[in-house]
Structure 1
Amino acid sequence: MSQLILDNYNHEVANKLVQAANQKTLSHAYLFEAIQHNQALKTALFLGAYMFCEEKEKPCQKCSQCQRVLNHNHPDIFVIQNDKQTIGVDEIRELKSELSKTPIEGKQRLFIIDRAQKLTQSAENALLNILEEPMSEVVMVMIAPNSKQLLPTILSRLQMVQFDQRLAQSNWADRLSLVQASDKELLLALQNVGVEFDQLAEFNQLESFFHEVKELIKQIISKDKGAYIHFQTVVKPMIATSSMQDVFLKSLMIIATQKLEQQEVHALSLVSSLIEVSHRRRFNVNFDSLVDYLFSQTIFAPYQGRA
């Protein structure tokens, strides 16, 4: 069998990780914020090869330890990686079970959560419990294109490693050149409130999503009880991840604020409810509970907005 060679990893990041490892200052948990996903994953594997390499010049990429890392079958490396739309709480429970095991061939273990932006909110909450009790023999690497796609409480327990931020602006420019004129204002507003391009890239049909959000706003402001059904049957299937839900809530706030500036009836009540939703989300309130609260304060309760 021919030997695998690790290429296309980020040399600058890899060198910093090696330096930290040599000084015994590796963090217990990292976030690799990278638009170029494959490069970030290969950099995480580089770290694994360095941790387990048998030779003096690490990683040699030739010894049995390095080759098992590159072949994704090293017993002390655990990777969460799937082709599903989300990473759920079951995967995090499996990770927690693996954490209870001692290293098999080395002194440390490496855990990688690939495409961490796919974590559901329940999965993030389960992961938070793990991160709150770091283990000295464990290094965890999470990979996502944008740190804002994860809960702030998760981010506070990770050391950020940024890869390729210069690509972000060009991606935004490309997206703006493709959307309808009516959506450009919303796109720019989302960028201004911290939404990154790769959050939008999760949507298979972004323009359809924008259309449905605008329709939902119209229904809420007109107190159409069909808005709740519209959300459950049409909008909710479009926003399966925590990151996509974040885009949804920010889109609602942007459009509702525009309606308020236009002095539309009942817009003030909607904006006030969304402010409270944003506040509760920072405290990890379940997304479904946030939506129920929003509708209870708008559709299913008397408005206190402008007449």
Structure 2
Amino acid sequence: MIYKDILKQQQPILYQVLLQSFKKQKIPHAFLLVGKNARQPAHFIAKSLVCENNVLACDTCNECRRIDEHKYGDFIYCNGQEETIKKPQIEYIQDQFSKSALEGKAKIYLMENIENSTIEAMNSLLKMLEEPTAGVYAIFTCQNLNRVLPTIQSRCQVIQLLPASQKTLREELKKKILLKMI
């Protein structure tokens, strides 16, 4: 099963928002996905912005694979779970995206666990969001929306992700148990 079908089944609200936005070519410059399992949907949005085959990501074309591997030239990824997101990382994004596009399509920055940013980083990020540049897209994830500045939230398409179903949780648990046995 391709991820688009899984997303349609497990996150129907997100799927419909994306499908309508991309079909009408009225894509928000910033998305904020709120929930525990936001990594895959966030990458799906990034792939959809550059996919060469479909309205939404096909997961098989060269661009989709390069986003998954973090090897797309105009894609910057930060993970706030691994380390606090700081102002120099935001300044790096600003600097890189002030230059010409390497790929010729969208410039995308994906920041997971944005709530784990310093106040200085959030304020710098807010400046970028207040004056969006055409062709530059932000994708943020967070688990605790209360820790994200309201002014950042107001400049994003905020989508609450549905919690995983019991069936999905069981399947994930089985995979983890099998991996530990290997």
TM-score range, shorter chain: 0.7 to 0.9
Q: What is the deviation of 1:166?
A: 9.2
1:14/1:46 contact within 8 Å kept: no
Q: Which contiguous aligned blocks of 4+ residues in structure 1 show a shift greater than 4 angstroms?
A: 5-11
Partner of 1:111: 109
1:34/1:144 contact within 8 Å kept: yes
Q: What CA distance in whole angstroms lies between the structure 2 residues aligned with 1:21 and 1:58?
A: 7
Q: What is the deviation of 1:113?
A: 1.0
> Where does the alignment leave 5 or more consecutive residues of structure 1 unmatched?
168-307
1:90-169 matched pairs, under 5 angstroms: 90-164=88-162
Question: Helix, strand or coil for the counterpart of 2:40?
Answer: helix
CA RMSD of aligned residues (A): 2.3
Change (3 A) 1:58 1:88: closer
1:44/1:112 contact within 8 Å kept: yes
Q: What CA distance in whole angstroms lies between the structure 2 residues aligned with 1:87 and 1:56?
A: 33
**Matched residues, number:** 159
Change (3 A) 1:66 1:165: closer
Partner of 1:22: 23
Change (3 A) 1:146 1:53: same
Q: What is the deviation of 1:74?
A: 1.0
Q: What CA distance in whole angstroms lies between the structure 2 residues aligned with 1:97 and 1:14?
A: 32
Larger CA Rg, structure 1 vs 2: 1
More helix by share: 1
Q: What CA distance in whole angstroms lies between the structure 2 residues aligned with 1:140 and 1:124?
A: 13
> Where does the alignment leave 5 or more consecutive residues of structure 2 unmatched?
166-182
Change (3 A) 1:138 1:57: closer
Question: Helix, strand or coil for the counterpart of 2:162?
Answer: coil
More strand by share: 2
Q: What CA distance in whole angstroms lies between the structure 2 residues aligned with 1:19 and 1:11?
A: 14
Q: What CA distance in whole angstroms lies between the structure 2 residues aligned with 1:142 and 1:56?
A: 23
Change (3 A) 1:137 1:58: same
TM-score using structure 1 length:
0.47
Q: What is the deviation of 1:104?
A: 2.2
Which gives a bigger RCO, structure 1 or 2 (Cα 8 Å, sep 6+)? Answer: 2
